[in-house]
Structure 1
Amino acid sequence: MTHLVDSHAHLTAAAFDDDRPAVLQRARDAGVRHIIEIGYNHAVMARALALADAEPGFVSVALGFHPLDATTVQDGDLALLAGRLCTAPAAVAIGEIGLDYHHHPESAAVQARVFREQLALARELGLPVVIHSREAHADTLAILQRDGVPRGGVMHSFSGDLAYAEACVALGMLISFSGPLTFPRSHALHVAAAALPPASLLVETDAPYLAPQGRRGRRNEPAAVRVVAEHLARLRGVSVAEIAAATCANARRLFGDRLVLP
Protein backbone atom coordinates (compact mmCIF):
# COMPACT_ATOMS: atom_id res chain seq x y z
CA MET A 1 0.00 0.00 0.00
CA THR A 2 1.20 3.51 -0.78
CA HIS A 3 2.01 5.70 2.20
CA LEU A 4 0.56 9.16 2.84
CA VAL A 5 0.97 12.13 5.17
CA ASP A 6 -2.12 14.01 6.35
CA SER A 7 -0.59 17.46 6.54
CA HIS A 8 -3.41 19.04 8.58
CA ALA A 9 -5.88 17.58 11.07
CA HIS A 10 -7.72 18.47 14.28
CA LEU A 11 -7.84 15.12 16.07
CA THR A 12 -8.24 16.69 19.50
CA ALA A 13 -11.63 18.08 18.44
CA ALA A 14 -14.61 16.94 20.50
CA ALA A 15 -15.97 15.15 17.43
CA PHE A 16 -13.35 12.44 18.05
CA ASP A 17 -13.76 12.06 21.80
CA ASP A 18 -15.79 8.86 21.54
CA ASP A 19 -13.55 6.92 19.14
CA ARG A 20 -10.16 8.61 18.73
CA PRO A 21 -8.13 5.37 18.98
CA ALA A 22 -10.29 3.77 16.27
CA VAL A 23 -9.88 6.86 14.06
CA LEU A 24 -6.10 6.62 14.40
CA GLN A 25 -6.17 2.92 13.59
CA ARG A 26 -8.29 3.50 10.49
CA ALA A 27 -5.73 6.07 9.38
CA ARG A 28 -2.94 3.55 9.76
CA ASP A 29 -4.98 0.93 7.92
CA ALA A 30 -5.47 3.42 5.05
CA GLY A 31 -1.72 3.89 4.71
CA VAL A 32 -1.37 7.15 6.62
CA ARG A 33 2.13 7.21 8.10
CA HIS A 34 2.13 10.65 9.69
CA ILE A 35 -0.35 13.33 10.74
CA ILE A 36 0.31 17.00 11.46
CA GLU A 37 -2.02 17.95 14.31
CA ILE A 38 -2.87 21.64 14.72
CA GLY A 39 -2.81 23.44 18.06
CA TYR A 40 -4.44 26.80 17.33
CA ASN A 41 -4.89 28.32 20.81
CA HIS A 42 -3.49 27.62 24.27
CA ALA A 43 -6.05 24.98 25.25
CA VAL A 44 -5.80 23.12 21.95
CA MET A 45 -1.99 23.35 21.97
CA ALA A 46 -1.88 21.41 25.23
CA ARG A 47 -4.18 18.70 23.86
CA ALA A 48 -2.24 18.49 20.59
CA LEU A 49 1.05 18.04 22.42
CA ALA A 50 -0.48 15.35 24.63
CA LEU A 51 -1.70 13.49 21.55
CA ALA A 52 1.74 13.71 19.94
CA ASP A 53 3.34 12.41 23.13
CA ALA A 54 0.94 9.46 23.05
CA GLU A 55 1.62 8.80 19.34
CA PRO A 56 5.37 9.35 18.85
CA GLY A 57 6.47 8.92 15.27
CA PHE A 58 2.88 9.12 14.04
CA VAL A 59 1.69 12.59 15.13
CA SER A 60 3.60 15.87 15.03
CA VAL A 61 2.18 19.30 15.82
CA ALA A 62 1.99 22.81 14.46
CA LEU A 63 1.36 25.41 17.16
CA GLY A 64 0.10 28.95 16.73
CA PHE A 65 -2.83 31.32 17.06
CA HIS A 66 -5.63 30.93 14.50
CA PRO A 67 -6.81 34.21 12.97
CA LEU A 68 -10.21 33.74 14.60
CA ASP A 69 -8.41 33.69 17.97
CA ALA A 70 -6.33 36.77 17.18
CA THR A 71 -8.47 39.09 19.31
CA THR A 72 -7.81 36.91 22.37
CA VAL A 73 -4.02 37.03 22.09
CA GLN A 74 -2.57 38.94 25.04
CA ASP A 75 0.83 40.28 26.05
CA GLY A 76 3.08 37.35 26.80
CA ASP A 77 1.19 34.84 24.68
CA LEU A 78 3.79 34.85 21.91
CA ALA A 79 6.52 34.21 24.46
CA LEU A 80 4.55 31.24 25.77
CA LEU A 81 4.13 30.00 22.20
CA ALA A 82 7.86 30.36 21.58
CA GLY A 83 8.59 28.38 24.72
CA ARG A 84 6.38 25.53 23.61
CA LEU A 85 7.89 25.51 20.13
CA CYS A 86 11.42 25.42 21.53
CA THR A 87 10.83 22.71 24.12
CA ALA A 88 8.38 20.29 22.48
CA PRO A 89 10.13 17.72 20.26
CA ALA A 90 6.84 17.16 18.41
CA ALA A 91 6.55 20.80 17.28
CA VAL A 92 7.51 21.11 13.61
CA ALA A 93 5.80 24.33 12.47
CA ILE A 94 3.95 27.48 13.51
CA GLY A 95 0.27 27.36 12.61
CA GLU A 96 -2.30 27.63 11.72
CA ILE A 97 -1.88 31.35 11.31
CA GLY A 98 -3.14 33.86 8.78
CA LEU A 99 -6.28 35.79 7.90
CA ASP A 100 -9.98 34.89 7.90
CA TYR A 101 -12.41 37.51 6.63
CA HIS A 102 -15.34 35.11 6.26
CA HIS A 103 -16.36 35.13 9.92
CA HIS A 104 -14.83 38.32 11.35
CA PRO A 105 -13.78 40.85 8.71
CA GLU A 106 -14.08 43.57 11.33
CA SER A 107 -10.99 42.19 13.11
CA ALA A 108 -8.78 42.33 9.99
CA ALA A 109 -6.28 44.75 11.52
CA VAL A 110 -5.82 42.66 14.66
CA GLN A 111 -5.58 39.48 12.59
CA ALA A 112 -2.87 41.04 10.43
CA ARG A 113 -0.85 42.17 13.45
CA VAL A 114 -0.95 38.76 15.13
CA PHE A 115 -0.20 37.07 11.81
CA ARG A 116 2.88 39.21 11.24
CA GLU A 117 4.09 38.71 14.81
CA GLN A 118 3.92 34.96 14.33
CA LEU A 119 5.70 35.16 10.96
CA ALA A 120 8.47 37.05 12.76
CA LEU A 121 8.61 34.28 15.36
CA ALA A 122 8.86 31.68 12.60
CA ARG A 123 11.81 33.55 11.10
CA GLU A 124 13.46 33.82 14.52
CA LEU A 125 13.05 30.11 15.28
CA GLY A 126 13.72 28.86 11.76
CA LEU A 127 10.36 27.10 11.47
CA PRO A 128 7.93 26.68 8.57
CA VAL A 129 4.42 28.08 8.81
CA VAL A 130 0.94 26.68 8.21
CA ILE A 131 -1.23 29.36 6.62
CA HIS A 132 -5.00 29.76 6.95
CA SER A 133 -6.42 32.14 4.33
CA ARG A 134 -10.16 32.46 3.89
CA GLU A 135 -11.63 35.21 1.73
CA ALA A 136 -8.37 37.10 2.33
CA HIS A 137 -6.06 35.87 -0.42
CA ALA A 138 -4.78 39.27 -1.58
CA ASP A 139 -3.94 40.47 1.92
CA THR A 140 -2.41 37.12 2.90
CA LEU A 141 -0.16 37.13 -0.14
CA ALA A 142 0.84 40.76 0.40
CA ILE A 143 1.93 40.03 3.97
CA LEU A 144 3.85 36.90 2.97
CA GLN A 145 5.61 38.82 0.20
CA ARG A 146 6.45 41.75 2.47
CA ASP A 147 7.55 39.79 5.53
CA GLY A 148 9.03 36.66 3.95
CA VAL A 149 8.94 32.99 4.89
CA PRO A 150 12.56 31.78 4.76
CA ARG A 151 11.67 28.23 5.85
CA GLY A 152 8.57 28.10 3.66
CA GLY A 153 5.33 26.54 4.75
CA VAL A 154 1.91 25.27 3.73
CA MET A 155 -1.09 26.97 2.21
CA HIS A 156 -3.52 24.82 4.19
CA SER A 157 -6.73 23.59 2.53
CA PHE A 158 -5.93 25.68 -0.51
CA SER A 159 -8.96 27.52 -1.90
CA GLY A 160 -7.52 29.87 -4.50
CA ASP A 161 -6.80 29.75 -8.22
CA LEU A 162 -3.68 28.82 -10.17
CA ALA A 163 -2.27 32.35 -10.21
CA TYR A 164 -2.54 32.60 -6.42
CA ALA A 165 -1.00 29.15 -6.01
CA GLU A 166 1.92 30.02 -8.26
CA ALA A 167 2.54 33.26 -6.35
CA CYS A 168 2.62 31.30 -3.09
CA VAL A 169 4.93 28.64 -4.54
CA ALA A 170 7.29 31.40 -5.68
CA LEU A 171 7.65 32.35 -1.99
CA GLY A 172 8.59 28.79 -1.03
CA MET A 173 5.13 27.65 0.05
CA LEU A 174 3.61 24.23 -0.57
CA ILE A 175 -0.02 23.90 -1.68
CA SER A 176 -2.10 21.48 0.37
CA PHE A 177 -5.32 20.15 -1.11
CA SER A 178 -8.20 18.81 0.98
CA GLY A 179 -11.76 17.54 0.53
CA PRO A 180 -13.00 20.42 -1.64
CA LEU A 181 -10.65 19.22 -4.38
CA THR A 182 -13.10 16.34 -4.88
CA PHE A 183 -16.14 18.59 -5.30
CA PRO A 184 -17.43 18.65 -8.90
CA ARG A 185 -17.74 22.44 -8.99
CA SER A 186 -14.26 23.21 -7.64
CA HIS A 187 -13.05 24.11 -11.12
CA ALA A 188 -10.34 26.57 -10.06
CA LEU A 189 -8.90 24.00 -7.66
CA HIS A 190 -8.92 21.35 -10.38
CA VAL A 191 -6.96 23.61 -12.73
CA ALA A 192 -4.40 24.48 -10.05
CA ALA A 193 -4.01 20.88 -8.90
CA ALA A 194 -3.38 19.70 -12.44
CA ALA A 195 -0.81 22.38 -13.27
CA LEU A 196 1.39 22.83 -10.20
CA PRO A 197 4.81 21.13 -10.06
CA PRO A 198 4.95 17.89 -8.04
CA ALA A 199 7.43 19.42 -5.60
CA SER A 200 4.78 21.93 -4.47
CA LEU A 201 2.03 19.47 -3.48
CA LEU A 202 0.66 18.21 -0.17
CA VAL A 203 -2.60 16.50 0.79
CA GLU A 204 -4.65 16.86 3.95
CA THR A 205 -8.07 16.26 5.47
CA ASP A 206 -8.59 19.16 7.92
CA ALA A 207 -10.50 16.50 9.85
CA PRO A 208 -13.15 16.58 11.26
CA TYR A 209 -14.02 19.25 8.67
CA LEU A 210 -14.25 19.30 4.85
CA ALA A 211 -15.13 15.67 4.15
CA PRO A 212 -14.69 14.70 0.48
CA GLN A 213 -17.47 14.29 -2.07
CA GLY A 214 -19.71 11.40 -1.09
CA ARG A 215 -19.28 12.18 2.61
CA ARG A 216 -20.00 15.91 2.58
CA GLY A 217 -21.67 17.08 5.76
CA ARG A 218 -20.34 14.16 7.77
CA ARG A 219 -17.34 13.93 10.05
CA ASN A 220 -14.06 13.72 8.19
CA GLU A 221 -11.05 11.74 9.40
CA PRO A 222 -7.41 11.22 8.35
CA ALA A 223 -8.09 7.94 6.54
CA ALA A 224 -9.90 10.01 3.91
CA VAL A 225 -6.66 11.67 2.84
CA ARG A 226 -6.37 8.73 0.47
CA VAL A 227 -9.53 9.94 -1.32
CA VAL A 228 -7.91 13.35 -1.81
CA ALA A 229 -4.71 11.75 -3.10
CA GLU A 230 -6.66 9.56 -5.52
CA HIS A 231 -8.54 12.57 -6.89
CA LEU A 232 -5.33 14.55 -7.23
CA ALA A 233 -3.81 11.65 -9.17
CA ARG A 234 -6.77 11.54 -11.55
CA LEU A 235 -6.59 15.28 -12.19
CA ARG A 236 -2.88 15.04 -12.97
CA GLY A 237 -3.10 11.83 -14.99
CA VAL A 238 -0.61 9.97 -12.79
CA SER A 239 -0.72 7.06 -10.37
CA VAL A 240 -1.64 7.37 -6.71
CA ALA A 241 1.82 5.98 -5.97
CA GLU A 242 3.39 8.99 -7.69
CA ILE A 243 1.24 11.40 -5.68
CA ALA A 244 2.05 9.54 -2.47
CA ALA A 245 5.78 9.59 -3.16
CA ALA A 246 5.80 13.29 -4.05
CA THR A 247 3.66 14.47 -1.15
CA CYS A 248 5.52 12.36 1.41
CA ALA A 249 8.86 13.69 0.15
CA ASN A 250 7.56 17.25 0.25
CA ALA A 251 6.25 16.83 3.79
CA ARG A 252 9.54 15.37 4.95
CA ARG A 253 11.50 18.18 3.30
CA LEU A 254 9.32 20.82 4.95
CA PHE A 255 8.72 19.40 8.41
CA GLY A 256 12.02 17.60 8.92
CA ASP A 257 13.36 14.36 10.28
CA ARG A 258 10.59 13.85 12.83
CA LEU A 259 8.50 12.53 9.95
CA VAL A 260 9.78 8.96 9.91
CA LEU A 261 8.49 7.70 6.60
CA PRO A 262 9.23 4.47 4.70
Structure 2
Amino acid sequence: MSPHSSSGRRGLPDAPERLPIDAVDNHAHLDITREGDEPFPVEEAVARARSVGVTRLVQVGCDLDGIAFTMDVIDRFPEIVGAIALHPSEIPKLADVGELTAAYETMERHATHPRIRAIGETGLDYYWTGPEGRAVQQDAFRWHIDLAKRTGKALQIHDRDAHEDILRILTEEGAPERTVLHCFSGDIAMARECVARGYFLSFAGTVTFKNARGLRDALSVTPLEQVLVETDAPYLTPMPHRGSTNASYLVPLTIRAMAGVFGVDVPTLCRAVSDNSERVYGPWS
Protein backbone atom coordinates (compact mmCIF):
# COMPACT_ATOMS: atom_id res chain seq x y z
CA MET A 1 0.00 0.00 0.00
CA SER A 2 1.33 3.42 -0.70
CA PRO A 3 -0.75 6.38 0.37
CA HIS A 4 0.45 9.84 -0.45
CA SER A 5 1.54 11.74 2.59
CA SER A 6 1.57 15.31 3.77
CA SER A 7 4.48 14.90 6.17
CA GLY A 8 7.12 14.23 3.55
CA ARG A 9 4.72 12.46 1.16
CA ARG A 10 2.87 14.11 -1.67
CA GLY A 11 -0.79 14.66 -0.86
CA LEU A 12 -1.32 12.28 2.08
CA PRO A 13 -4.37 13.47 4.05
CA ASP A 14 -3.71 14.82 7.51
CA ALA A 15 -4.31 12.43 10.38
CA PRO A 16 -7.80 12.76 11.88
CA GLU A 17 -8.44 13.26 15.58
CA ARG A 18 -7.43 10.24 17.64
CA LEU A 19 -10.17 7.85 18.65
CA PRO A 20 -11.01 7.86 22.37
CA ILE A 21 -10.91 4.04 22.49
CA ASP A 22 -8.74 1.79 20.35
CA ALA A 23 -10.34 0.21 17.29
CA VAL A 24 -9.59 -2.24 14.49
CA ASP A 25 -9.26 -2.03 10.69
CA ASN A 26 -10.99 -5.25 9.74
CA HIS A 27 -9.69 -5.35 6.13
CA ALA A 28 -6.63 -3.75 4.53
CA HIS A 29 -4.26 -4.61 1.70
CA LEU A 30 -0.82 -3.51 2.85
CA ASP A 31 0.71 -5.25 -0.17
CA ILE A 32 -1.16 -3.23 -2.80
CA THR A 33 0.13 0.02 -4.28
CA ARG A 34 -2.04 2.20 -6.48
CA GLU A 35 -0.45 3.31 -9.73
CA GLY A 36 1.62 6.46 -9.25
CA ASP A 37 1.89 6.14 -5.48
CA GLU A 38 5.10 6.28 -3.53
CA PRO A 39 6.13 3.28 -1.38
CA PHE A 40 4.47 3.23 2.04
CA PRO A 41 6.35 0.79 4.32
CA VAL A 42 4.35 -1.46 6.61
CA GLU A 43 6.18 0.01 9.61
CA GLU A 44 4.88 3.47 8.72
CA ALA A 45 1.35 2.26 7.97
CA VAL A 46 1.17 0.55 11.37
CA ALA A 47 2.69 3.51 13.23
CA ARG A 48 0.33 6.04 11.64
CA ALA A 49 -2.66 3.85 12.47
CA ARG A 50 -1.54 3.39 16.07
CA SER A 51 -1.13 7.15 16.49
CA VAL A 52 -4.88 7.67 15.96
CA GLY A 53 -6.05 4.66 17.99
CA VAL A 54 -6.27 2.04 15.26
CA THR A 55 -4.09 -0.44 17.09
CA ARG A 56 -4.96 -3.65 15.24
CA LEU A 57 -5.61 -4.57 11.64
CA VAL A 58 -6.34 -7.53 9.41
CA GLN A 59 -4.02 -7.80 6.40
CA VAL A 60 -5.79 -9.49 3.50
CA GLY A 61 -3.74 -11.36 0.91
CA CYS A 62 -5.92 -12.41 -2.00
CA ASP A 63 -3.52 -13.61 -4.68
CA LEU A 64 -0.38 -15.74 -4.47
CA ASP A 65 1.95 -12.77 -4.03
CA GLY A 66 -0.38 -11.25 -1.46
CA ILE A 67 -0.52 -14.51 0.46
CA ALA A 68 3.29 -14.65 0.63
CA PHE A 69 3.38 -11.03 1.81
CA THR A 70 0.76 -11.74 4.46
CA MET A 71 2.62 -14.75 5.82
CA ASP A 72 5.69 -12.54 6.26
CA VAL A 73 4.08 -9.57 8.04
CA ILE A 74 1.93 -11.54 10.48
CA ASP A 75 5.09 -12.98 12.02
CA ARG A 76 6.84 -9.59 12.24
CA PHE A 77 4.11 -7.22 13.44
CA PRO A 78 2.01 -7.98 16.53
CA GLU A 79 -0.55 -5.40 15.37
CA ILE A 80 -1.35 -7.51 12.28
CA VAL A 81 -3.24 -10.76 11.84
CA GLY A 82 -3.93 -12.23 8.44
CA ALA A 83 -6.66 -13.34 6.09
CA ILE A 84 -5.82 -15.23 2.92
CA ALA A 85 -7.78 -16.39 -0.12
CA LEU A 86 -7.81 -16.49 -3.86
CA HIS A 87 -9.86 -13.46 -4.87
CA PRO A 88 -12.84 -14.36 -7.07
CA SER A 89 -11.42 -12.28 -9.91
CA GLU A 90 -8.23 -14.37 -9.77
CA ILE A 91 -10.02 -17.70 -10.00
CA PRO A 92 -10.84 -17.75 -13.75
CA LYS A 93 -7.28 -16.62 -14.58
CA LEU A 94 -5.74 -19.41 -12.51
CA ALA A 95 -8.14 -21.96 -13.99
CA ASP A 96 -7.40 -20.85 -17.55
CA VAL A 97 -3.66 -21.51 -17.14
CA GLY A 98 -4.09 -24.74 -15.20
CA GLU A 99 -2.74 -23.35 -11.92
CA LEU A 100 -5.82 -23.39 -9.71
CA THR A 101 -5.10 -26.74 -8.05
CA ALA A 102 -1.56 -25.67 -7.14
CA ALA A 103 -2.94 -22.41 -5.75
CA TYR A 104 -5.39 -24.35 -3.59
CA GLU A 105 -2.46 -26.36 -2.25
CA THR A 106 -0.71 -23.13 -1.28
CA MET A 107 -3.83 -22.03 0.55
CA GLU A 108 -4.08 -25.35 2.40
CA ARG A 109 -0.44 -25.08 3.47
CA HIS A 110 -0.80 -21.62 5.00
CA ALA A 111 -4.38 -21.62 6.30
CA THR A 112 -3.52 -23.41 9.55
CA HIS A 113 -0.96 -20.81 10.66
CA PRO A 114 -2.11 -19.53 14.08
CA ARG A 115 -1.99 -15.87 13.00
CA ILE A 116 -4.10 -16.50 9.91
CA ARG A 117 -7.52 -15.77 11.36
CA ALA A 118 -9.77 -15.71 8.30
CA ILE A 119 -10.24 -17.22 4.88
CA GLY A 120 -10.93 -14.27 2.64
CA GLU A 121 -11.61 -12.34 0.69
CA THR A 122 -13.48 -15.03 -1.18
CA GLY A 123 -16.88 -14.88 -2.81
CA LEU A 124 -18.22 -13.73 -6.16
CA ASP A 125 -17.46 -10.78 -8.42
CA TYR A 126 -19.79 -10.39 -11.38
CA TYR A 127 -18.56 -6.88 -12.18
CA TRP A 128 -15.09 -7.85 -13.40
CA THR A 129 -15.91 -11.42 -14.47
CA GLY A 130 -18.40 -12.20 -17.23
CA PRO A 131 -20.88 -15.08 -17.35
CA GLU A 132 -18.20 -17.46 -18.66
CA GLY A 133 -16.27 -17.20 -15.38
CA ARG A 134 -19.13 -17.50 -12.94
CA ALA A 135 -19.27 -21.28 -12.60
CA VAL A 136 -15.61 -21.61 -11.61
CA GLN A 137 -15.98 -18.66 -9.22
CA GLN A 138 -18.90 -20.36 -7.53
CA ASP A 139 -16.98 -23.63 -7.22
CA ALA A 140 -14.05 -21.75 -5.70
CA PHE A 141 -16.33 -19.96 -3.24
CA ARG A 142 -17.64 -23.33 -2.08
CA TRP A 143 -14.05 -24.57 -1.71
CA HIS A 144 -13.11 -21.58 0.45
CA ILE A 145 -16.21 -22.01 2.64
CA ASP A 146 -15.20 -25.61 3.25
CA LEU A 147 -11.61 -24.57 4.06
CA ALA A 148 -12.82 -22.02 6.61
CA LYS A 149 -14.96 -24.63 8.33
CA ARG A 150 -12.24 -27.29 8.28
CA THR A 151 -9.67 -24.92 9.79
CA GLY A 152 -12.02 -23.16 12.22
CA LYS A 153 -11.30 -19.75 10.67
CA ALA A 154 -13.66 -16.88 10.03
CA LEU A 155 -14.87 -16.31 6.47
CA GLN A 156 -14.49 -12.89 4.78
CA ILE A 157 -16.74 -12.48 1.74
CA HIS A 158 -16.30 -10.31 -1.34
CA ASP A 159 -19.66 -9.65 -2.98
CA ARG A 160 -19.88 -7.48 -6.07
CA ASP A 161 -23.08 -7.56 -8.09
CA ALA A 162 -23.76 -11.09 -6.82
CA HIS A 163 -25.95 -10.71 -3.73
CA GLU A 164 -28.46 -13.46 -4.53
CA ASP A 165 -25.86 -16.07 -5.43
CA ILE A 166 -23.76 -15.24 -2.35
CA LEU A 167 -26.71 -15.86 -0.04
CA ARG A 168 -27.81 -18.94 -1.97
CA ILE A 169 -24.39 -20.61 -1.81
CA LEU A 170 -23.99 -19.80 1.88
CA THR A 171 -27.35 -21.47 2.46
CA GLU A 172 -26.43 -24.52 0.40
CA GLU A 173 -22.98 -24.99 1.93
CA GLY A 174 -23.71 -23.78 5.45
CA ALA A 175 -21.89 -20.65 6.52
CA PRO A 176 -19.02 -20.84 9.02
CA GLU A 177 -19.88 -19.76 12.56
CA ARG A 178 -18.12 -16.42 11.97
CA THR A 179 -18.97 -14.97 8.57
CA VAL A 180 -18.17 -11.40 7.53
CA LEU A 181 -19.60 -9.50 4.56
CA HIS A 182 -16.53 -7.38 3.71
CA CYS A 183 -17.20 -3.87 2.38
CA PHE A 184 -20.93 -4.46 2.65
CA SER A 185 -22.66 -3.20 -0.49
CA GLY A 186 -26.19 -4.54 -0.18
CA ASP A 187 -29.44 -2.72 0.49
CA ILE A 188 -31.47 -2.58 3.67
CA ALA A 189 -33.31 -5.82 2.85
CA MET A 190 -30.07 -7.72 2.37
CA ALA A 191 -28.67 -6.24 5.57
CA ARG A 192 -31.69 -7.50 7.49
CA GLU A 193 -31.29 -10.96 5.96
CA CYS A 194 -27.58 -11.12 6.82
CA VAL A 195 -28.24 -9.91 10.36
CA ALA A 196 -30.92 -12.57 10.81
CA ARG A 197 -28.41 -15.20 9.73
CA GLY A 198 -25.89 -13.97 12.30
CA TYR A 199 -23.35 -12.60 9.85
CA PHE A 200 -21.11 -9.63 10.62
CA LEU A 201 -21.36 -6.62 8.30
CA SER A 202 -18.18 -4.63 7.67
CA PHE A 203 -18.50 -1.06 6.41
CA ALA A 204 -15.81 0.87 4.55
CA GLY A 205 -15.31 4.54 3.64
CA THR A 206 -18.11 4.26 1.08
CA VAL A 207 -20.61 4.70 3.93
CA THR A 208 -19.42 8.33 4.21
CA PHE A 209 -20.10 9.19 0.55
CA LYS A 210 -22.89 11.68 -0.10
CA ASN A 211 -24.62 9.37 -2.59
CA ALA A 212 -24.56 6.35 -0.22
CA ARG A 213 -27.92 6.85 1.48
CA GLY A 214 -28.88 3.22 0.84
CA LEU A 215 -25.70 1.99 2.47
CA ARG A 216 -26.33 4.15 5.53
CA ASP A 217 -29.85 2.71 5.70
CA ALA A 218 -28.32 -0.77 5.69
CA LEU A 219 -25.94 0.26 8.47
CA SER A 220 -28.83 1.63 10.53
CA VAL A 221 -30.47 -1.83 10.80
CA THR A 222 -27.23 -3.60 11.71
CA PRO A 223 -26.97 -4.28 15.45
CA LEU A 224 -23.87 -2.94 17.18
CA GLU A 225 -23.06 -6.57 18.05
CA GLN A 226 -22.66 -7.42 14.34
CA VAL A 227 -20.86 -4.38 12.92
CA LEU A 228 -17.23 -4.04 11.84
CA VAL A 229 -15.28 -1.24 10.14
CA GLU A 230 -12.59 -1.39 7.48
CA THR A 231 -10.59 0.62 4.99
CA ASP A 232 -10.14 -1.84 2.10
CA ALA A 233 -6.94 0.21 1.80
CA PRO A 234 -5.59 1.53 -0.47
CA TYR A 235 -9.11 2.00 -1.86
CA LEU A 236 -12.44 3.54 -0.76
CA THR A 237 -11.04 6.49 1.15
CA PRO A 238 -13.66 8.16 3.36
CA MET A 239 -14.85 11.71 2.99
CA PRO A 240 -13.54 14.37 2.89
CA HIS A 241 -10.59 12.65 1.19
CA ARG A 242 -12.42 10.56 -1.41
CA GLY A 243 -10.07 9.93 -4.32
CA SER A 244 -6.90 9.92 -2.22
CA THR A 245 -5.13 6.73 -1.26
CA ASN A 246 -6.63 5.07 1.79
CA ALA A 247 -4.79 3.76 4.85
CA SER A 248 -5.70 2.42 8.28
CA TYR A 249 -5.01 5.74 10.00
CA LEU A 250 -8.14 7.15 8.29
CA VAL A 251 -10.48 4.67 10.02
CA PRO A 252 -11.52 7.33 12.59
CA LEU A 253 -13.31 9.26 9.83
CA THR A 254 -15.46 6.26 8.98
CA ILE A 255 -16.13 5.38 12.62
CA ARG A 256 -17.30 8.92 13.41
CA ALA A 257 -19.64 8.90 10.40
CA MET A 258 -21.01 5.49 11.41
CA ALA A 259 -21.59 6.64 14.99
CA GLY A 260 -23.71 9.45 13.59
CA VAL A 261 -25.86 6.98 11.66
CA PHE A 262 -26.32 4.80 14.73
CA GLY A 263 -26.97 7.78 17.00
CA VAL A 264 -24.39 6.59 19.52
CA ASP A 265 -21.27 8.25 20.86
CA VAL A 266 -17.90 7.41 19.34
CA PRO A 267 -16.58 5.49 22.40
CA THR A 268 -19.62 3.18 22.26
CA LEU A 269 -19.00 2.34 18.61
CA CYS A 270 -15.25 1.92 19.19
CA ARG A 271 -15.94 -0.60 21.95
CA ALA A 272 -18.36 -2.51 19.73
CA VAL A 273 -15.91 -2.62 16.81
CA SER A 274 -13.08 -3.75 19.07
CA ASP A 275 -15.14 -6.40 20.84
CA ASN A 276 -16.68 -7.72 17.61
CA SER A 277 -13.28 -7.92 15.93
CA GLU A 278 -11.92 -10.08 18.71
CA ARG A 279 -15.05 -12.24 18.65
CA VAL A 280 -14.45 -12.85 14.95
CA TYR A 281 -10.65 -13.10 14.81
CA GLY A 282 -9.56 -13.79 18.37
CA PRO A 283 -7.01 -11.77 20.37
CA TRP A 284 -4.13 -10.16 18.50
CA SER A 285 -1.57 -10.86 21.23
Q: How does the TM-score come out when normalised to structure 2?
A: 0.87
Instruction: Provide the C-alpha distance between the structure 2 equivalents of 1:12 and 1:54, rounded to a whole number of angstroms.
Output: 15
Q: Quick check: 1:254 aligned with 2:280?
A: yes
Identify the residue that residue 100 of structure 1 maps to in structure 2.
Answer: 125
Instruction: Provide the C-alpha distance between the structure 2 equivalents of 1:124 and 1:237, rounded to a whole number of angstroms.
Output: 39
Instruction: Provide the C-alpha distance between the structure 1 equivalents of 2:216 and 2:111, rounded to a whole number of angstroms.
Output: 35
Give the counterpart of 1:54 among 51, 76, 81.
76
Instruction: Provide the C-alpha distance between the structure 1 equivalents of 2:191 and 2:142, rounded to a whole number of angstroms.
Output: 20
Listed one character per residue, the Cα deviations across residues 207-246 of structure 1 (whole Å, up to 9, x for unaligned) are 0000012111110000111111100000111111011000
Identify the residue that residue 194 of structure 2 maps to in structure 1.
Answer: 168
Which amino acid in the other structure matches residue 5 of structure 1?
A: V
Equivalences for 1:129-140 in 2 at 5 Å?
A: 129-140=155-166
Which amino acid in the other structure matches residue 51 of structure 1?
A: V
Identify the residue that residue 31 of structure 1 maps to in structure 2.
Answer: 53
Q: CA-atom RMSD, angstroms?
A: 1.4
Moved over 4 A (4+): none
Identify the residue that residue 135 of structure 2 maps to in structure 1.
Answer: 109
Instruction: Provide the C-alpha distance between the structure 1 equivalents of 2:139 and 2:179, rounded to a whole number of angstroms.
Output: 19
Which amino acid in the other structure matches residue 104 of structure 1?
A: T
Instruction: Provide the C-alpha distance between the structure 1 equivalents of 2:108 and 2:212, rounded to a whole number of angstroms.
Output: 37
- Give the 3 Å change call, closer, same or farther, for CA 112–18 of structure 1 in structure 2: same
Identify the residue that residue 11 of structure 1 maps to in structure 2.
Answer: 30
Instruction: Provide the C-alpha distance between the structure 1 equivalents of 2:225 and 2:150, rounded to a whole number of angstroms.
Output: 25
SS for the counterpart of 1:14 is coil
Q: Matched residue pairs, number? A: 257
Contact 2:156/2:181 (8 A) holds in 1: yes
Contact 1:152/1:171 (8 A) holds in 2: no
Listed one character per residue, the Cα deviations across residues 85-142 of structure 1 (whole Å, up to 9, x for unaligned) are 11x2220010000000111123111110101111111111121100000011111111
Instruction: Provide the C-alpha distance between the structure 2 equivalents of 1:167 and 1:105, rounded to a whole number of angstroms.
Output: 27
Identify the residue that residue 154 of structure 1 maps to in structure 2.
Answer: 180
Contact 2:192/2:221 (8 A) holds in 1: no
Instruction: Provide the C-alpha distance between the structure 1 equivalents of 2:223 and 2:256, rounded to a whole number of angstroms.
Output: 17
- Give the 3 Å change call, closer, same or farther, for CA 152–171 of structure 1 in structure 2: farther
Give the counterpart of 1:89 among 108, 114, 131.
114
Equivalences for 1:175-186 in 2 at 5 Å?
A: 175-186=201-212
Structure 2: any 5+ residue segments left out of the alignment? 1-19
Q: Which has the higher helix share?
A: 1
Instruction: Provide the C-alpha distance between the structure 1 equivalents of 2:75 and 2:111, rounded to a whole number of angstroms.
Output: 14
Contact 2:33/2:234 (8 A) holds in 1: no
Listed one character per residue, the Cα deviations across residues 131-179 of structure 1 (whole Å, up to 9, x for unaligned) are 0000111111111111111322210011111211122223331000001
Q: Quick check: 1:2 aligned with 2:21?
A: yes
SS for the counterpart of 1:97 is strand
- Which piece of structure 1 moves more, 143-152 or 132-141? 143-152
Structure 1: any 5+ residue segments left out of the alignment? none
Give the counterpart of 1:67 among 74, 88, 99.
88
SS for the counterpart of 1:75 is helix
Instruction: Provide the C-alpha distance between the structure 2 equivalents of 1:240 and 1:213, rounded to a whole number of angstroms.
Output: 17
- Give the 3 Å change call, closer, same or farther, for CA 25–198 of structure 1 in structure 2: same
Instruction: Provide the C-alpha distance between the structure 2 equivalents of 1:145 and 1:65, rounded to a whole number of angstroms.
Output: 21
Instruction: Provide the C-alpha distance between the structure 1 equivalents of 2:44 and 2:126, rounded to a whole number of angstroms.
Output: 35
